[in-house]
Structure formats: C-alpha cells, structure tokens
Structure 1
C-alpha cells in the first residue's frame, strides 16, 4: 500500500483494461464506467480505435514519471485511464500503487496478454514464467533461460523479439521455439512461429504491438546456468578477484535471498555474489560497491550476460561509498572486513532481522571475524575446498585457500 491516501476514500482514478478490439472488449460494467468518464487518458493506438465523444481526452504519449506528475496535479478529479489488458499485471496500476492508496483507485481488468497468449498456445500459465521486457532491459531474459522452460514476455517493440533471439542464440539456445503473437484480439491478429536462430538470421519485420512466447531448447554443449547459487567460475569475467563457486554457494545460502530483498555487495570484485542474489529470488535487487574501475566494467558486463541488468554499481571504498544508499536486507563483505569503520557502517545500515555475511582469507581478517563473533554472536565456519587437477598422468587434489565465513542476523524489530 502506498503512503498516500485514506482508507475508505471514494476512488477518483479508474483504470480500465482494454483489448486490441477496442470498446468491444469491455464488459458491461467496464463499458458503463467508460461512458460515464469525464476525462480519458489512453495510448494513441487505443484512441485511434475508439470514439471518445466530447469528453476531455489526453493521449498517453509520455513516460511513467510524467504520468504520475499529471495524475498528482489532478488528484481528486475523476479521471479514467484505458490500459492494455490487466493494469495490475506488469501494468500502470501496479506502478501507481507505489504512490497511491488502493482506496483511490478502481481497477477493471481485461484478460492480460499472458492469458491471451497461453490460451492460444495451450500452455498452462502456472507452468510458464511471465516477465516483462517492456520498458526494461531485454537482458533480463537471460536469467530465465533454462532447458525446457516456457516463457511469455511483454515486449516494447518488434525489435525486442530480435534482441531476445540474439540472447537465446548466444546462450546456445538457438533451437528454441519463438511464437510472436501480434495484435491479439484485434482485427490484425497474427501468430508467427520461428526458431531463435532463424529470427537472428532473417530479422523479420514484426509488429510493435506483440507478445513473445519462448520454449527454451538448448543445443548440445550449451551451458546450464541454474538459478540455484553456485554458477561456474567461468560464467563470470574476472581478474581473479572472485568468490569461488563452492564458497559462493555457501555464502548465498547464508545470505538467504528473498523476493524483493536488497543486498549490499561490499568490495564486489566481479559482482558474482550480487548477481547470483538477484537471480535467486524474484524481484531481488543488489548494489555492488567496488573502487576499481576495471572491475566495475566487468561487473556491468557480467550483470548483462547473466540476466541481472538492474544491478546497481557504486564506485568507491566502504565506508564512505555507503552513504545515502537504501538500507539493505542483507550485506556481504567479501573483503576489507578489517578496514576501519566498514563493519560499523554496514551494521548500522542493516535492517532489523537483516543478514550479514563476511568472508576472510587472511589471518588479520579472520582475527577480526573472531572478535566480531564474540561481540555479536552468529556462526563461524571455516571452509576448505580442493579441486581435482592433473598431476602428470594422474589426478591430484589442489587445495584452494581456506575461507572463514561469519554469518549473523541483526536482532531488533
């Protein structure tokens, strides 16, 4: 619920979901609300298909920020927005709920693009990953590409389909089936079926108003990049400053990614922990704090390649670089725990019941973890990993540096 509004207030803002066939898609109650509306805000594509009569009409040709500013200026004045499909499913309604109280809005949905696409393909929505690439980086698709996965995605334009195919092809999923569902429910409806590799090669002309469905099919040898933490080290571009796979899996398990949770990755290196945090839970966010410019560049590329384009990257050293950042639900300190003021700054910022995990490989860092554990409690684990590597004609165990892991939950309410 937003911070604005009073429970029980009369709704002044009406959101009506509409299909590509215009007013014919509305139910009788929705049609009645439309007919009684004094001000209509709608995309130009929708306005071109309907008769709004003599009422005030505002073409919705601007972004979310400008939309919110317009609505705030008209607050309390009856206003109706026509939005495609279900306004609460990756739509304007869900966005406005961040700033308006639910009591201020009346929402009348139409079938969403997800429902329409699933009904045409015979896919059960409960078995489908539903994402939006509309107004978002198409690279967010990458984290959902798994063998056998079915994905339905909202798109921005026809170009989004081409870019999605390029991501699939680059990941070794060129065989994946792609259904492009154009103008569903309208007179210009068309469904096109292609493989990702075919889309990349031909770059067909595609209507901008489309929904994309994907049946993921890997080619032999395609890398399996699971959402379960512990991606192969080779999945990341790095300069050696990397939390190794085995340690990373244990670290993420103790951080406990949760939907919508925010992680601070302090001394992020190549960004592996923050990226895996975002991949592990729906809507999870992360901020990578890293002082070295070359590593920040690697973090950005890794985030794009692995489907976490929303990762925020902050330049600088802790604790100074932490000022004014949003309070985290979890913090990972991969290096620098012995530096003055680092623990104190993150502990103060961490939300109550938040998790902190700090790793150390040096004697000095380990001593600091012992002292902090004695003061704040939590668990200490020393992890020693060895990997089998060739020794002449045989295999032998090559040990990695032992890592001490301290994990603790901040008490409070």
Structure 2
C-alpha cells in the first residue's frame, strides 16, 4: 500500500471560513481520494459531504498525533486553518514525520485576511497566536504606534485582552475585532480597549491592535531598568547586566544556563534578545525561584524554565547550553564541573563581588585564559546640601570559552 500511495501519505489542507469555495484543485483532489479525514469540528462541518470516514481531532492537540501516525499507509487528509505553518498546526504534526511523508496546501491565513481588511503591511505588524498562550507575550511589543494582529481562543479572551491593555496603560488603543474572516459570517468592528463592551463576538476571532497610551515601554536593548524586575536586592544591576549580556552574546536558537538566577533578570533579557532563544534558570532559594518565574511571565517570556536546586548538584539532566552565566553560587567545584562536563566552545561568563570569589576567578583565568574585566560604578548621592559620587562594590567579570 505504501508503494502505491508514495511517501506522501498525509495531505495537510488549509481551509478558510468560505469552506469548499476556497480550496485549491490539489486540495479538492486530495479530499476526493482520501480514506480518512480529520480536523477540528468546525472544519469538518464545512465539508458535510465527505465520501470517507472522518474524526474530530482531539483536545489537547498533542493527543491526536498517535492516532494520526497509526494511519500510515492510508490516504489521510488533515484539515487546518489557513496556512498550516503560520502559527498553525502544521509544524507540530510534521515534527513526528519523515521528510516527504506529507504535502501541504495552504490558503490565506487569518493574518493575511486581517491585514487585507485593515490595510496594514504585514512586514511591520506584529503577529501572534495566543489561543493557548498568555496575553503577556505581547508585553515586550507594547509601545505607541505599534500594530499587532493576535489570534484568540474565544469571545471571552477578547474582553480579557482589552482589560489587559487598559491595565498596562494602553486603554486608548484601537481594537478591530475580526470575526470569521473570509466566510459568510465575517464581521469587523472597531472599539477602544478601555471602552470594550462587546458581548456577541463570534468564533474564530482575531484582534487588530493599534497601540495608543502612556503605559511603560520595555526598552529593546539589554540593560532594562531594574524596576521591570521584582527582586529582594539579589539582582544584577542594570549597567552590569548590560555588560554581562554583551559578554554572553545571545544568538538565535541558543540556550542559556543562568546559575544562581536570583530575580532571573539575566535569563529574561537573554530570552528577550530573540524569540527563538531558550533559558534554564537554576536557583537554590524557592522564593527567589518563584519570583524569577513571575518576572518572566510578566515580561512575556514564560518559556523560561526555572529549576529549584543548588549548583552543581542540580545541573544534571538538562540539555547542554550554548552559554552559561554564573551570578550566584560561584565555587571551585562548580567551575570544575562546568569545565569537565560541558562541550568545548560553550561560552562562560561569571561575575564576582567578594575578594574570595574574585581571587577564584583570577586564578582560573590565569589557567584557562579568557577576558577578566573589573567593573567599578558610582552614582550621584546627596552629601548634606551638596552631591557627590557614591561608589558601589566593584564587580570582576570573567568571560571565556570552555
């Protein structure tokens, strides 16, 4: 049977709210010869005259993968919204397949249709799929003049979005509520976030946002102000954080280990550098670990993995990083473990503030090389009726490739 079908036994068919009318000839042919069809209930309802058995894809989405793979050797069609590979299900499914086992026939995505209705250039519009993701993913993008198109789960999520924007100081933002785009139920309505009161929003729904307001704007470069992070004093301060991120040099698709994470500020700024980066924060204090997790969620990088444990004992069992930052718990045993365990080429940056840890870094730098930097900072403070420079503890920073 596999030889008769060829390698591509699965056809992923993008379908819009216009149903059969919007399908390509290739999609129609795949459906005409299908032995089994699956998809969301609303997608199947758009094609009531299927000539083969069909099944609703289960929730949660991952539960359907095993059943799909069990159909290898049959002609299978999977129905998905719009473009399967633009915040769609395509990439989730194809991760479990070998190259050549599938073909895909996309139709315009909701993002395409929304941009066409609003007249917004997609290349400068932030597009987000927030069906099952927190609204805080938008937080780094919120600034006056920024346009976003977000896909949402349901009508209730639209109201939650409006309240979130208002709470962040962007209640004056214009919202375009875009329902069932491309189909007979299509409707577009404009409201203001602070005044949102719609109660009859249909599914599927997207929202176009033109951000207006005087809410705080998260800077786009490393060294964000300390006020963005909840902390108990254990935080790498803004100027040192900027120098530390510069030394760590985050790149797309890289992973960081932040050891002794404290407030999580280093790992969070690493994640803010690029949406493809990953980070694991190790923190021995459960209260600080919870605080780091909360900071990450508030700043839209909830993908931060926070591990409660003391280094080096708690470091095993995680994918090796591309870069490591040691901000707390610096010791001979930790450095020895990192050099013995991690792959050559891993970037290591360690900050020291005490004489003992400074001496440790100086000795290891003498043996292993790398760059040793002493950072001395002062800020202005009152002295009676005048002002003077208040010195902070100097920081010694070692950066090296293992």
Taking structure 1 as the reference length, the TM-score comes to 0.91
Alignment correspondent of 1:399 = 391
* Cα distance, 1:43 vs structure 2: 0.6
- Partners of 1:285 and 1:206 in 2: CA distance: 36
Structure 2's unaligned 5+ residue stretches are 1-5
**Does structure 1 residue 85 correspond to structure 2 residue 82?**
yes
User: Partners in 2 of 1:226 and 1:255 — Cα distance?
Assistant: 19
1:149-228 matched pairs, under 5 angstroms: 149-199=146-196, 202=197, 204-219=199-214, 222-228=215-221
- What is the CA RMSD across the aligned residues, in angstroms? 1.8
* Shift in Å, 1:352: 4.5
- Displacement of 1:38 in angstroms is 1.5
Aligned to 1:5: none
Q: In structure 2, what is the Cα distance between the partners aligned to 1:328 and 1:203?
A: 47
**1:369 to 2:361 alignment:** yes
Question: Within 1, Cα distance between the matches of 2:336 and 2:200?
Answer: 56
Partner of 1:3: none
Alignment of 1:358 onto 2:350: yes
Cα distance between partner residues in 1 of 2:200 and 2:294: 29
Is 1:329–1:350's contact at 8 Å kept on the other side of the alignment? no
Residues 255-314 of structure 1, C-alpha deviations (whole Å, 9 max, x = no match): 122222211111110111111111111222211111112112211221121111121111
Equivalences for 1:294-313 in 2 at 5 Å? Answer: 294-313=287-306
Of stretches 243-252 and 168-177 in structure 1, the one that deviates more from structure 2 is: 168-177
| Paired residues of 2:13 and 2:27 also in contact (CA < 8 A) | yes
- 1:55 corresponds to which residue? 52
Q: How big is the shift at 1:85?
A: 0.5
Give secondary structure in 2 for the equivalent of 1:408: strand
**Aligned partners of 1:105 and 1:352: how far apart in 2?**
38
Q: 1:407 to 1:74 in 2, by over 3 A?
A: same
**8 Å Cα contact 1:259/1:283 also seen in 2:** yes
Alignment of 1:245-394 (within 5 A): 245-338=238-331, 340-394=332-386
Cα distance in 1 for residues equivalent to 2:31 and 2:339: 52
- CA 1:218/1:353 → structure 2, altered by over 3 Å: closer, same or farther? farther
Secondary structure of 1:103's counterpart equals coil
Matches within 5 A, 1:118-137: 118-137=115-134
Other structure's SS at 1:300 match:
helix
Closer, same or farther: CA 22–256 of 1 in aligned 2, 3 Å: same
Aligned to 2:401: 409
- Deviation digits for residues 107-136 of structure 1, max 9, x if unmatched? 111111111111111111111112211222
Query: Post-superposition shift, 1:248?
Result: 0.5
- Offset from partner CA, 1:46-101 (integer Å, 9 cap, x none): 11222243301011132232121112222333211010010011211111232222
Report the more deviating stretch, 107-116 or 349-358.
Answer: 349-358
**Residue 138, structure 1, aligned to residue 138, structure 2:** no
Contact conserved, 2:24 with 2:105, CA < 8 A, in 1? no
CA distance in 2, matches of 1:145, 1:113: 21
Structure 1 residues not aligned, in runs of 5+ = 1-8
Taking the TM superposition and a 5 Å limit, the aligned residue runs for 1:1-16 are 10-16=7-13
CA offsets 1:308-339 (integer angstroms, 9 cap, x no match) = 1121111110111111012112111102222x
Aligned mates of 1:290, 1:129 — CA distance in 2: 33
Structure 2 counterpart of 1:112: 109
Residue number in structure 1 paired with 2:223: 230
